[in-house]
Amino acid sequence: MVCCDSSLYPYSPSKVAPIILLVVFLASTAHHIYLNIRYKSWRITATLPWGGFLFVVGFAMREVSAFKPNHLPIFIASVCLLLLAPPVFAVTNYIVLGRVLYYVPYLSPIHPGRVISTFLGLDAVIGVITGNGGARVASVDASPSDIRAGKAMLRASIILQLVSFFLFVALEGFFHRRCIRQGLLAPKPSPEANKQSKNLRRILHLMYISSAIISCRHVFRVVEVFQGSDGYLARHEWPLYVFDGVFMFANMLMLNIWNPMRYLPNDNKIYLSKDGVTQRLGPGWVDKRHFILTIIDPFDVGGLFKKKDKCKFWDNENEHPIVGQEMAGADKRAGDSATA
């Protein structure tokens, strides 16, 4: 039922659901801010409170729009914010997987830093297409052909977002398979060894679940766009609150409870030795190529045709101090200097 003749909604929008979701997202966002402060992990998981903030403002705009259903700017603001928030959670997964690859560098299919730059680059291109498509559709001066082109761009952007995310899941699965073959995820006899394998298993499972949740939401948006404004999903309100609300809150709540930084070191120079037990402080994985070349060729395909020997610092792991012992060594050297 439409709430009034001039309403932008094909139904009477709920005035209760946006408030409920606003409150739960606000609580989750506040807790993620606390976790970032506790684990000092702003460089890695700052996107979680940022995505939550977008949902808070998006549902706030949705609530205002429910009382002013014919106000176009507020309507567009709520739609855009709720479209922008879920991809921010996808960025969190990119960053976390990159950190996992830094932690287990000898099994990484690509340079860990390229995970973030590659998928963020794809998301940036998709964002440009989405913005242009949305501007064409929302413009009051747009011709019918411009509106059709805008809708086509929106369809293409949502499909590309889904393809990009499936590529990310494939990369994660390839790394997971390597970990299984290496025996890093198998239960270990000693408690300390088992702790490392358990942490690695948990962080991979978290990313799989998060990827599945976000992918379900992407599929919902793809189906909605292809059904058009007369389709079932566009003419009913509950799918939006299920997929953009409940699903995305479940993703945030899961990462509230099992925050990725509980299982990963903050420093990307710390890596797990091949024994699957010892953590060492290495030099870090540095790509010595020019920055522009890393963007053009993020997977270093050109390096496959070069015969130069690449430095694999993990092959000389005995030269790197065990985490915890390097501080003891530094304290000892400081004491020796003071004595002298």
State residue 335's pLDDT score.
46
Q: How many CA atoms lie within 13 A of 61 on its CB side?
A: 19
Which band of pLDDT confidence, cut at 50, 70 and 90, is reported for residue 302?
low
What phi and psi values does residue 231 have, to the nearest 5 degrees? Answer: -75, 170
- The answer, yes or no, to whether residue 237 has pLDDT greater than 70, is yes
Number of C-alpha atoms within 13 angstroms, CB side, residue 295? 6
pLDDT confidence bin for 308, thresholds 50/70/90:
low
DSSP 244: I
List the end-to-end C-alpha distance of the chain, in Å, as a whole number.
85
Which residues fall within 8 angstroms of residue 320, CB to CB, at 6 or more apart? Answer: 280, 281, 282, 283, 313
pLDDT, position 259: 93
**Which of 4-23 are b and which e, b meaning 16 or more Cβ less than 10 Å from the residue's Cβ?**
eeebbbeeebbeebbeebbe
> Tell me, what's the pLDDT at 291?
64
What is the C-alpha to C-alpha distance for residues 142 and 190, in angstroms, rounded to an integer? 67
pTM above 0.75, yes or no: yes
The pLDDT, as a whole number, for residue 295 is 63
Tens of pLDDT, residue by residue over 8-67, are: 888 899 999 999 999 999 999 999 999 999 999 998 999 999 999 999 999 999 999 999
Per the prediction, the chain carries an average pLDDT of 83
Q: Is the pLDDT of residue 329 over 60?
A: no
SS3 category, 272: strand
Is residue 328 pLDDT above 60, yes or no? no
Q: What pLDDT is recorded for position 116?
A: 82
Q: Which residues contact 35 (CB under 8 A, 6 or more apart)?
A: 41, 45, 48, 256, 259, 261
pLDDT at 333: 43
Q: Is 141 exposed, middle or buried (0-12, 13-18, 19+ CB in 10 A)?
A: exposed
Q: How confident is the model at residue 305 (pLDDT cuts 50, 70, 90)?
A: low
Q: Nearest CA to 283 among 295, 271, 266, 297?
A: 271
pLDDT-wise least confident of 28-37, 82-91, 149-158: 149-158
**Residue 82 half-sphere exposure, CB side, CA atoms within 13 Å?**
26
Cβ atoms of 210 and 247 closer than 8 Å: no
Per-residue confidence (pLDDT) for residue 56, from 0 to 100: 96
Is the pLDDT reported for residue 113 higher than 70? yes
Whether the pLDDT of residue 1 is over 80: the answer is no
**How do residues 312-324 score in pLDDT, each as one tens digit?**
888 888 888 888 7
| Section 291-306 average pLDDT | 64
pLDDT digits (tens, 9 = 90+) for 180-232: 998 888 877 777 768 888 889 999 999 999 999 998 888 888 788 777 778 89
Percent of the chain predicted with pLDDT > 90: 36
Average pLDDT over residues 131-139: 72
**Taking the CA atoms of the chain, what radius of gyration do you get in angstroms?**
24
What pLDDT does 67 receive?
Answer: 93
Above pLDDT 70, what percent of the chain? 85
Please, which residues bridge with residue 280 across strands? 271, 322
Beta pairing partners, 270: 281
- Give the span between the Cα atoms of 47 and 102, in whole angstroms: 19
Q: Which two tokens stand for residue 85?
A: 């928030």
217-229: burial string, b at 16+ Cβ within 10 Å, e else: bbebbeebbeeee
